[in-house]
Chain A
Amino acid sequence: EIVLTQSPGTLSLSPGESATLSCRASQSVTNNYLAWYQQKPGQAPRLLIYGAFSRATGIPGRFSGSGSGTDFTLTISRLEPEDFAVYFCQQYSNSFTFGPGTKVDIK
């Protein structure tokens, strides 16, 4: 099983700042089969990024994904008020596992 570790656990930032979220895998994620989701309280997760760097339909350009192998990054440039949420990474190259999440909260 591929174990995903996300850091930091919590990121405290102000609107307008940029956020860099890390997702590290215990073994290589082949074919860049890595996705990112956003979840707000009381809501279902929302797909942001798939294939490590492809934005899902309707996702603003301030969200970008990068990385390969075992190290992946989600970058949110110029945080908007609606971006404060929990972010999960997920791999689908070997079964399907999720990271524990990074909470982005307002400083």
Chain B
Amino acid sequence: EVQLVESGGGLVQPGGSLRLSCAASGFSFSNFWMSWVRQVPGKGLEWVANIKEDGSIQYYVDSVKGRFTISRDNAKISLYLQMNSLRAEDTAIYYCARARDWGYFDYWGQGTLVTVSS
């Protein structure tokens, strides 16, 4: 059974940093692109970042470029999102998701809430 479990969310002040983790199991992690997708509670979904199977290529939504870094450790079967210079508008539930055929998401974690507030 495919499982994705996020951790690392919490309350952080504007300008602060946070690192999210996603532990994967039940599939061959190193064979799939992985993604982060966020959602303001009660609102719509926004793709944040993608990373290639071997970690060599990453893509980001414009609003987080230069502030967020997606990475992965295939040996630890884990995905990460380093978030720096956080802003109030980054407040959201962050989901880890497995990407297929370039860009639809067939499995999602339960999400971790990031709140940016003073």
Q: Is the CB of B108 within 8 A of A45?
A: yes
Q: Is the CB of A47 within 8 A of B103?
A: no
Q: Which of A19-27, A69-77, A91-99 is found at the contact surface with chain B?
A: A91-99
Partner of B104, one of A50, A57, A97: A50
- DSSP class of B's interface residues: helix, strand, loop or mixed? strand
Report Cα–Cα, A50/B104, bound state, in Å. Answer: 7
**Residues of B88-102 whose CB lies within 8 A of A:** 95, 100-102
Q: Is the CB of A90 within 8 A of B104?
A: yes
Partner of A98, one of B46, B59, B100, B101: B46
**B107 — nearest CB in chain A belongs to which residue?**
A47
CB neighbours of A56 from chain B (8 A): 106
Q: Is the CB of B106 within 8 A of A99?
A: no
Known interface pairs A44-B95, A44-B109, A44-B110; A98-B104 also in contact (CB < 8 Å) = no
Q: Which residues of B contact A (CB under 8 A)?
A: 35, 44-47, 50, 59, 61, 95, 100-111
List 12 other contacts, CB 8 Å, given A92-B104, A101-B44: A37-B105, A44-B110, A44-B111, A45-B45, A45-B105, A50-B100, A88-B45, A90-B45, A96-B35, A96-B47, A96-B103, A98-B47
